[in-house]
Amino acid sequence: MRKGTRAYIGFVELHPTNVDSKVDVILKHYQHTVKKELGGRAKAMVVTGSRASAVKYQRAFQKHIEREKLPLQTLVAFSGSLPDPDVTAIGNVAVPEVTEASMNPELRGRDLAGVFSQEDQNILIVANKYQTGFDQPLLTAMYVDKQLSGIAAVQMLSRLNRRADGKKNTYVLDFVNDPAQILAAFQDYYEDARIETDSDPDLVAKQMTKLDAANIYTPAEVNRVWAAWSDRNGKRGALTSALVPAVERFTNRWSRAVYDDDAAARDELDKFRSLLDQYTTSYAFFSQILNFGDTYYLKLSVFADLLARLLREQLDGGERETVTADDVVLTHYRLEKQRDEDLQLEDGEARGLQGMTEAGMTRQQERERAAKAELVEKVNRFLGGLDASDEHKVSAVELLVREAAENTDLQQQARNNTRVDFSHSPQVRLVLEDSVWNQNRQSEAIAKRFQELPPTDLVELAMAFDLWEQSRAG
């Protein structure tokens, strides 16, 4: 239910009516209240919740500015590329991608932050990028359309706390957050903020030792990946081939652990995957303040990031969204002012800041365990009561789905249909039934239960393991 709710909320947030209404409010407020500050030099930032939202905001701003002939300039900042959120896929035609450069043609290769500092620039729309560590003294207003909490809220809104001659007022117009939660976030770090636990400077070295000890890769392979990654004239194929040995070692061990129903081995491999992400995060944090004195630390951070991504593609089908709002139509929408808030901080005991430690890096792993628990519960709805471990039952369904997702007909259907339409396709049922009979690695009890399941239950179980997404990625 939570995932479905998020999908519908995302649909509404990105709907043109919603975005246009907010842009209209922002422009009026900026024109009448903000722009006159600092002798007419005041700048504003619009904080969005996603790259797709940032793209839609930029286009809505441009439409309003052109239609009303406003003397304003906007820029949009986000990382990487994404499919154009205003283009709907038709058949096998690929959706064109948009980038920061394509959305800001006036940059012409120049640094975006530098261009925004020019006098003729007024509003910067951001998606994650520039939300922390961005120093622009003329920034006077912030329009927030993203959920904020904790230290992230403090860091984001503190972009306004840059001194400039004549700067007396700052403004925040928030479309989504509860003022009490924002106040609570700042109160935690007001006056008596302190560090309760120090960051462990040896954390990166400890994580490196654990990664090396897993024997999934060799230092020579790390060096080859680094050479391919840092070669500006290199080809993607060279980078991928350099990662192949490590991927094969991991997937071979994973398949063996699944075949042997070795829960301990699978748990160790899961920990290795989590550690890859943790090492990348830890190195990025500590490298800002520490000189490790050995380039292998940097090389391994690149290697770990790329290997983690490939393993996600191999074993999980990449990052997945399991609920869509494709069939939802927005019929009513109203944007209304709730209230003005004067958030005053109070003296009192503040919560301490937590440093980066090995214990703190386990949170992501706990989230992964929770996700697995949901799958186990789903599996036991259909395979409960069998004399087999949960790991074995989950592995059986994973293998079933992986084999079915290799079917070229399903791959074609998944790319050309929504998740709902795909799940009702007769071809899905036929392929799953064939896959059940082809599973030689499953225990006789599980295979027998698969054969006894009604086709609708079999489809529901396969969809819980993302047959649709894996087929699309195949």
Q: Domain map of the chain by residue range?
A: 19-189, 202-316, 407-473
Place of tokens 């990946």: 225
Q: What are phi and psi of 360, to 5 degrees?
A: -70, -25
Nearest-CA neighbor of 461 among 445, 471, 450?
450
Write out the H or E segment, with its range, that includes residue 83. Answer: strand 81-83
- What is the 8-class DSSP label of residue 351? P
Q: Say what the pLDDT of residue 92 is.
A: 72
Dihedral, CA atoms, 380, 383, 387, 389, nearest 10 degrees?
-50
| Residue 329 pLDDT | 47
Burial (CB count <10 Å: 0-12, 13-18, 19+), residue 291 = exposed
The predicted pLDDT at position 438 comes to 67
Eight-state DSSP code of residue 176: S
Residue 2 pLDDT grade (very low, low, confident, very high; cuts 50, 70, 90): very low
Predicted confidence (pLDDT) per residue in 13-31, tens digit? 444 456 888 888 889 889 8
**pTM of the model as a whole:** 0.45
How confident is the model over 180-204, as pLDDT tens digits? 777 777 776 665 555 455 567 788 8
Residue 415 pLDDT greater than 50, yes or no: yes
Highest mean predicted confidence (pLDDT) among 360-364, 429-433, 444-448: 429-433
Least confident of 125-139, 157-171, 329-343: 329-343
Q: Which fold has domain 19-189?
A: Rossmann fold (3.40.50)
The token duo for 332 is 């009513």
Within 260-389, where are the H helices? 263-286, 295-311, 363-383
- For the stretch 351-397, pLDDT in tens is 554 555 665 555 555 555 556 666 667 777 777 666 666 666 777 77
**pLDDT range class, residue 323, cuts 50, 70, 90:** very low
Q: Which residue has the higher pLDDT, 154 or 74?
A: 74
13-52 per-residue burial string, b: 16 or more CB within 10 A, e: under 16: bbbeebbbbbbeebbebbeeebbebbeebbbbbbbbbbbb
How much is the pLDDT for 357? 60
Calculate the CA dihedral of residues 309, 315, 319, 325 and round it to 10 degrees. Answer: 160
Strand partners, 418: none
| pLDDT tens profile 42-56 | 999 999 888 888 999
Mean pLDDT across the stretch 89-97? 76
Provide CB contacts within 8 A for 272, sequence distance 6+: 211, 214, 216, 250
**Pair of tokens at residue 97:** 């991608």
Contact by Cβ (8 Å): 54, 80 = no
Q: Are 82 and 98 in contact (CB under 8 A)?
A: yes
> What is the enclosing helix (H) or strand (E) of 113?
helix 112-116
